């Protein structure tokens, strides 16, 4: 049976040693009074809920799955009760606006909490997972009436939210959406169409489900410029905002999937369903991007969570499993063989997981902190700077972390050998669950195209230069610290290569647009490594300082050793990817379609 223990030491290292969030939040008046003791207490309670309430349901959900009959979805045993406790203990409202019943805590806190919930049970966590995105979209674009009706219930967790984009004939290309919205003489609109792959689109855990739906008005222009967004509740609220009559929105079926069996992935049929427009006509994609970007960060957190849980079990197994002797002589002479953790290749697999997980935690928490700055900092310039960084790095967070998360769960299964392939040990479930995250909320290829085409080339690299300036500032600050040369010298070299590479891609793309598509995926990997290398250099600096100050906590020695492993064994991938990009699009586009 798999186990999960919230990694409080590593979480606290990122929050307090690396990011120094108590000091950082002082500049945001809404969070100025939040101290480290309170923050740790909140996370400790979240960890207990994750490990004691949600994690025991992980294999139950995988084994039972959801059941569907006559439009009704029944979730696995224990899911509904766990959600009731989740609502009663106030977790849905954590970082929401107090005006609507929220606790007003930083988004950073929500980020750390969601990591632990995803480690415990990704399928269960996905039921409330999109509710926060629906809340954010309605906060940004809803009418005052929509906010008053929907936000208090989403914040309380009484209602959950979904995002209805995909149709059978179109996934990423939302310009092909066919769902129609016609003005209703009685008010609002009537929506007709079918959406697919709707996570938590139907379930028995909350009294209402609030669907945010993309559809076309009759006179809408073609393509993405003709999409509007509508709020379509499962039950239509009455005048007092209570659940009223059933709307004409039904679950037609649920998908049978490779993983996340405990979450209902639904076909949603709208048969003249009543809805109300959110935002402006034909500008629904702009409104939906609030929810989509939040979901992309959320999917990155799902992979971080799964990778952490899988790593913990692989590490424990490697310490216990006896197999052969160390190449340098017995390490456990009192036993018939040595534990497999003594073998170099097992250590390679464990250290790869550890390096990717701990850098991802630093990266995602830093993004959470920048979201807080973007949303609530009193200085407009600080808000704008943070917004640019979040915009640039959202596709990197989603794509790089989910790629690495899948690799990490696969390595965890490999550490178990044949036992990793056996269901009862839980490793193969982590692999299956992690695989969807590379596809969800825009495949990682789409994330790569978004990064290179929209976030870098479209603004002549302005945001990327801003990130580079932050990293360069860190590098310069270490100039008088010889011990940091092993980190900052390779980082500085890579940063210079990225600058030259970006210019090269831009020039090639002016001659042949296919060059952008050919370069996009390896380019995302390169930028991911730049970010991870930056955070590992920062963590190494913190660890050196603590060790020199006489700190005996082994966490600091562990951070320094893992930073060195990352730089030696994982960062070189960036150079390979740069060489791959420079080969150009020719070899990819040479074959005619019939020649494949």
Give all strands (DSSP E) within 135-207, no chain letters: 159-164, 180-183, 189-199
Phi-psi region of 260 (alpha: psi -120 to 50; beta: other; left: phi over 0): left
CA distance 50 to 86: 10
* Antiparallel, parallel or unpaired: β 189-199 and 265-278: antiparallel
The two three-digit tokens of residue 197, written as one number: 């792959």
Rounded to 5, what percent of the chain is helix, strand, coil?
65, 15, 25
Q: Torsions phi, psi of 175, nearest 5?
A: -65, -15
Cα-based distances in Å from 506 to 7, 260, 389, 449, 587: 42, 40, 21, 13, 19
Cα-based distances in Å from 562 to 26, 182, 414, 536: 31, 58, 20, 8
State yes or no: is 441 an active-site residue.
yes
Q: Crossing angle, helix 380-415 and helix 514-548, to 10 degrees?
A: 90
DSSP string, 492-551: HHHHHHHHHHHHHHHHHHHH-THHHHHHHHHHHHHHHHHHHHHHHHHHHHHHHHHHHTT-
In this structure, is the dihedral angle defined by the CA atoms of residues 321, 326, 327 and 330, taken in order, positive or negative?
negative
CA distance 153 to 210: 10
The residue to which tokens 């011990």 are assigned: 483
- Max CA distance (Å), the chain: 84
Cα-based distances in Å from 414 to 358, 409, 537: 20, 9, 29
Q: Is 209 helix (H, G, I), strand (E, B) or coil?
A: strand
- Evaluate whether 79 touches 62 at the Cβ level (below 8 Å): no
DSSP state of 173: -
* Antiparallel, parallel or unpaired: β 208-215 and 189-199: unpaired
CA distance 578 to 530: 12
DSSP string, 214-253: EEB-TTPPSGGGGBEEEEEESEEE-TTS-EEEEPSEEEEE
- Evaluate whether 226 touches 212 at the Cβ level (below 8 Å): no
The catalytically annotated residue of 374, 441, 493, 497 is 441
Active site residues: 441
């Amino acid at each position: 049976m798999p186990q999960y223990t919230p990694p409080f030491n590593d979480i606290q290292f990122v929050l307090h040693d690396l990011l120094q969030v108590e000091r950082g939040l002082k500049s945001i008046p809404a969070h100025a009074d939040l101290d480290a003791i309170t923050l740790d207490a909140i996370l400790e309670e979240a960890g207990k809920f994750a490990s004691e309430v949600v994690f025991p349901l992980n294999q139950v959900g995988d084994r039972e799955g959801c059941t569907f009959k006559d439009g009704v979805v029944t979730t696995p045993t224990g899911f509904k009760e766990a959600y009731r406790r989740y609502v009663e203990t106030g977790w849905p409202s954590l970082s929401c606006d107090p005006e609507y019943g929220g606790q007003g805590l930083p988004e950073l806190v929500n980020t750390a909490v969601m990591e632990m919930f995803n480690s415990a049970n990704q399928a269960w966590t996905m039921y409330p997972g999109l509710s926060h995105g629906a809340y954010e979209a309605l906060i940004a674009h809803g009418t005052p009436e929509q906010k008053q009706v929907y936000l208090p219930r989403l914040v309380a967790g009484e209602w959950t939210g979904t995002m209805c984009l995909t149709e059978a004939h179109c996934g990423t290309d939302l310009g092909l959406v066919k769902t129609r919205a016609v003005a209703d003489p009685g008010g609002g609109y009537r929506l007709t169409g079918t959406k697919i792959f709707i996570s938590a689109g139907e379930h028995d855990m909350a009294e209402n489900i609030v669907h945010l739906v993309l559809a076309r008005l009759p006179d809408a222009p073609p393509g993405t410029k003709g999409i509007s967004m509508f709020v379509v509740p499962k039950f239509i609220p009455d005048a007092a905002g209570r659940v009223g009559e059933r709307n004409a929105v039904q679950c037609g079926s649920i998908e049978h999937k490779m993983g996340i069996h405990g979450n209902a992935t639904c076909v949603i049929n709208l048969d003249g369903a009543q809805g109300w427009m959110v935002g402006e006509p034909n500008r629904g994609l702009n409104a939906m991007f609030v929810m989509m970007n939040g979901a992309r960060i959320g999917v990155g957190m799902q992979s971080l969570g799964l990778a952490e849980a899988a790593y913990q079990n692989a590490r424990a197994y490697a310490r216990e499993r006896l197999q052969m002797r160390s190449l340098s002589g017995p390490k456990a002479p009192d036993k018939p063989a040595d534990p497999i953790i003594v073998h170099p290749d097992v250590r390679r697999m464990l250290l790869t997981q550890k390096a990717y997980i701990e850098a991802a935690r630093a990266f995602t928490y830093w993004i959470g902190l920048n979201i807080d700055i973007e949303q609530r900092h009193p200085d407009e310039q600080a808000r704008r700077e943070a917004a640019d960084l979040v915009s640039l790095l959202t596709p990197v967070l989603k794509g790089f972390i989910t790629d690495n998360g899948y690799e990490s769960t696969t390595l965890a299964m490999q550490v178990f050998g044949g036992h990793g392939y056996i269901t009862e040990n839980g490793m193969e479930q982590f692999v299956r669950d992690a695989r969807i995250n590379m596809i969800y909320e825009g495949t990682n290829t789409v994330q790569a195209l978004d990064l290179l085409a929209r976030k870098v080339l479209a603004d002549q690299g302005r945001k990327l230069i801003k990130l580079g300036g932050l990293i360069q500032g860190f590098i310069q600050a270490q100039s008088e610290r010889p011990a940091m040369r092993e980190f900052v010298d390779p980082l500085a070299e890579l940063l210079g290569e990225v600058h030259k590479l970006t210019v090269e891609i831009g020039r090639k793309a002016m001659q042949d647009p296919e060059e952008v598509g050919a370069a996009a995926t390896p380019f995302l990997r390169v930028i991911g490594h730049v970010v991870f290398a930056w955070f590992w250099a920062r963590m190494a600096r913190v660890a050196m300082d603590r060790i020199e100050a006489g700190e005996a906590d082994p966490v600091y020695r562990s951070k320094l050793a893992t930073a060195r492993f990352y730089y030696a064994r994982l960062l070189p991938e960036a150079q390979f990817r740069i060489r791959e990009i420079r080969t150009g699009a020719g070899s990819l586009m040479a074959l005619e379609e019939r020649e494949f």
